[in-house]
Amino acid sequence: MSDAVVVQDVVKRFGAATAVAGVSLSIRSGELFGFIGPDGAGKTTLFRILATLLVPDEGSARVLGEDVVKALWSLRMRIGYMPGRFSLYPDLSVEENLRFFASVFGTTIAAERERIAPIYSQLEAFKERRAGALSGGMKQKLALCCALVHRPEILFLDEPTTGVDAVSRREFWDLLGDLKAGGLTAVVSTPYMDEADRCDRVALIQRGRLLAVDTPDAVARSFDRPLIAVRSQKRHETLRALREYQNTNTAYPFGETIHFTDKRTDVSVESLQAELRTFLESRGFRDLDVKPTPPTVEDTFMARMGPIEDVGEGTPAA
Amino acid sequence: MTGDASIVAKDLTRRFGSFVACDRITFDVRKGEVFGFLGANGAGKTTAIRMLTGLLSPSSGQATVAGHDVYTESESIKRHIGYMSQRFSLYEDLTVAENIRLYGGIYDLSDQQIRERTDAMLSRLGLRDAAGNLVRSIPLGWRQKLAFSVALLHEPRIVFLDEPTSGVDPITRRQFWEMIYQAASSGTTVFVTTHYMDEAEYCDRISIMVAGKIGAIGTPTELKKQFGTESVDEVFVRLARPASEPAAARRGDGA
């Protein structure tokens, strides 16, 4: 399979700030690829470079075999880009927005009906409504429709699910799955770590650098030590007690459990578990559930992201 | 109301024309509780929050916030609550110290109070050396922690947090929740919205709004039991999308 995107040593600075600090990777044709990372990680800058809207300071990038700097005009007809900020015309109706984007690319809604039907069918009931009056999830669907209307060969979707509720997010990813099944290459960014599982491969990105590039499963499995989930009625107190445990490497709340790793790497999981339980019971905690748990992409992200950026003297107690 | 309740809402309703954004919602939030206010986009959360923060008058029903009536005492409500959101929290073109002073002034603190609390806050956050830095130059995670502290500067009885951790890295997100717990344990009521379903599990109680009504309310454990699910995420999905109903049929209303 050919590569739809090839990025080599890309660097982009804004004044003193380095937004992208040397990124290299390739994305295969037909892949649903995710950039996973928090705000400020460099996702948007990288997407703008790939969408031919920004020129990198160093390195190069090719999309669909063409250089993003030299071939920007021909590339723009072949790519679809959905920016992170809602960028449709709020005062135009759903249908007017779509008609406008179709006309910019020299086509019509009627000619593209088949292509956009799976998404447009969900919007059609509201086609007279002003885009600005749509709910978050529906705005994103309309934006996706507009990005698709000129039959791009590859889609760049920058944080399409940010600020969208958990259910609408699922629906949006279902749509992306359908597009992928139709053969489209889609590159998506998101700050929600749990969305990694919807991608074929992901790149974890933080402070302009890639922490990992692999399938979500392999990223999760690359976690380098046993992970133990502690379930306790008194979660917050348990968490504080774990902070005082001499063998604690990390202890983070994780949904209804606490994810714990031990400093020691040469002790069996069974012993770690037993010792942890003994410690917590000695602190008066009862009704504990202490057992190994498979690491998630988020666990790997936290393990690899390194210390929190420092801005003042010392780090905070929090 | 009992002396222990921070928020009491009874049949609180808001209509916009023929559209009922908030439809007779009834609930209460106890002092020092971490209350998660969940719901799909467009379910009516924002309307409810605007009524509870004294920014929007209800169409009918009753509510008191920190003991003040939402119809007649909205100015007192504003004085006794703190507010921060992901979208807007601090002025980026002001320094850290200037932001604190500005909010201190808005909430009528004395110069001495502002000095003392600024000092304590900067030490606590480890931001002493950054006091003179523009907020825009500070990493997002830090900004959110600072914004939360600033929202607590006037020692409000209730703090409203609207998606405070959106886009924040996973470690800072967890540190932020530590701060929420600290505030709650010192008696501040925390009313928080989030799209991170793992954070819903961190709340003492949650409510889930569905099409203008409160679809479910209880502790995360109670709700999971009630719906027979493993996670709050699944409860949310069940409520927000009743089985087999075409999603598009009910969506599209402005949030």
CB contact under 8 A, A165 and B171: no
The nearest CA of chain B is from the CA of A144 a distance in Å of: 15
- Which residues are within 8 A (CB) of A223 and not within 5 positions of it... i.e. 6 or more apart? A295, A299, A300, A303
Nearest CA in chain B to A16: B137
Q: Which residue range is the domain that position A263 belongs to?
A: 228-295
Q: Is residue A311 part of a domain?
A: no
**Which one of A193, A221, A249 terminates a domain?**
A221
Q: Do residues A111 and A245 both lie within one domain?
A: no
Residues of A within 8 A of B128 (CB-CB) are: 312-313
Can you read off the two tokens belonging to residue B21? 């954004």
Percent of chain B with pLDDT over 70: 93
Q: Percentage of chain A surpassing pLDDT 70? A: 96
- What confidence score (pLDDT) does residue A308 get? 64
A186 within a domain of the structure (yes/no)? yes
Cβ-count burial A287-299 (b if 16+ within 10 Å, e if not): ebebeebebbbbb
Say whether A317 and B124 touch across the interface (CB within 8 A).
Answer: yes
Structure-token pair, residue A180: 């992928």
Tens digit of pLDDT for each residue in A229-261? 999 988 889 999 999 999 999 999 998 899 999
**Distance (Å, rounded) from C-alpha A243 to C-alpha B179?**
16
Say whether B69 sits in a helix, a strand or coil.
strand
User: Mutation test of the interface with chain A: which of B34, B41, B89, choosing the one with the most A Cβ atoms within 10 A?
Assistant: B41
Residues of chain A neighbouring B202 (CB-CB closer than 8 A)? 235, 253
d(CA A196, CA A216): 6
SS3 category, B64: strand
Query: A311, A313, A315: best mutation site toward chain B, by most B Cβ within 10 Å?
Result: A311
pLDDT of residue A114: 85
Give me the pLDDT at residue A234, please. Answer: 86
Task: Grade residue B3 by pLDDT with cuts at 50, 70 and 90.
Answer: low
The model's pLDDT over A60-103, given as tens digits with 9 standing for 90+, comes to: 999 999 999 999 999 999 999 999 888 899 999 999 999 999 99
Shortest CA distance to A136 belongs to which of A86, A101, A92, A170? A86
What phi and psi, each to the nearest 5 degrees, are found at residue B72?
Answer: -105, -15
Of all residues in chain A, the one with the smallest CA distance to B246 is A122
Which strands make up the sheet holding A228-231, listed edge to edge? A248-254, A257-262, A228-231, A289-292
Report the residue count for chain B: 255
The Cα-based distances of A85 to A36, A136, A173, A185, B135 in angstroms read 17, 11, 18, 22, 22
Residues A195, A145, single domain; the answer is yes
Are A70 and A199 part of one and the same domain? yes
User: Which residue segments constitute the domains of chain B, with CATH numbers given?
Assistant: 5-88+158-250 (3.40.50.300)
Q: Which residues of A touch B130 (CB under 8 A)?
A: 311-312
Same domain, A259 and A122: no
Across chain A, mean pLDDT equals 92
Quick one: A232 and A194 in the same domain? Answer: no
The predicted complex's ipTM stands at: 0.87
* Positions of E strands within A255-307: 257-262, 289-292
* Reported confidence tier of residue A316, pLDDT bands at 50, 70, 90: very low
A239 in any annotated domain: yes
Residues A20 and A39 in one domain: yes
* Minimal-distance CA residue of chain A relative to B241: A167
According to the model, what pLDDT value does residue A44 have?
Answer: 96
Domain match, A138 and A247 both:
no
For residue B163, the chain A residues in CB contact (below 8 A) are: 163
For residue A136, what pLDDT band results from cuts at 50, 70 and 90?
Answer: confident
Instruction: Summarize pLDDT for B52-68 with one digit per residue, the tens.
Output: 999 999 999 999 999 99
Strand-pairing partners, residue A258, are A230, A253
Q: What CATH number is given to the structural domain containing A250? A: 3.30.70.100
For residues A232 and A209, state if they share a domain.
Answer: no
- CB-based contact A39 B167, cutoff 8 Å: yes
CA distance A204 to A211: 5
CA distance B68 to chain A (A): 31
CA distance to A230, A238, A239, B96, B183, per residue, from A257 (Å):
6, 10, 10, 35, 21
pLDDT, mean over chain B: 90
pTM value? Answer: 0.90
Q: Is residue A74 part of a domain?
A: yes
pLDDT at B1: 46
Q: Return the pLDDT at B255.
A: 38
Are residues A260 and A175 part of one domain? no
In this complex, do B145 and A318 lie within 8 Å of one another by their Cβ atoms? yes
3-state DSSP: chain B helix, strand, coil percent, rounded to 5?
A: 40, 25, 35
Predicted pLDDT of residue A163: 84
Sequence-ordered list of residues with C-beta below 8 angstroms from that of B213, at least 6 positions apart, any chain: B23, B24, B25, B44
Domain boundary among A221, A249, A267: A221
Q: What is the pLDDT of residue A315?
A: 38
Q: Tell me, what's the pLDDT at A310?
A: 56
Shortest CA distance from A41: residue in chain B:
B169
- DSSP of B169-231: -HHHHHHHHHHHHHHHHTT-EEEEE-S-HHHHTTSSEEEEEETTEEEEEE-HHHHHHHHT-SS
Residues A245 and A150 in one domain: no
Give chain A's domain count.
2
pLDDT in tens, B147-198: 999 999 999 999 999 999 988 999 999 999 999 999 999 999 999 999 999 9
Percent of the residues in chain B that have a pLDDT greater than 90, as a whole number: 81
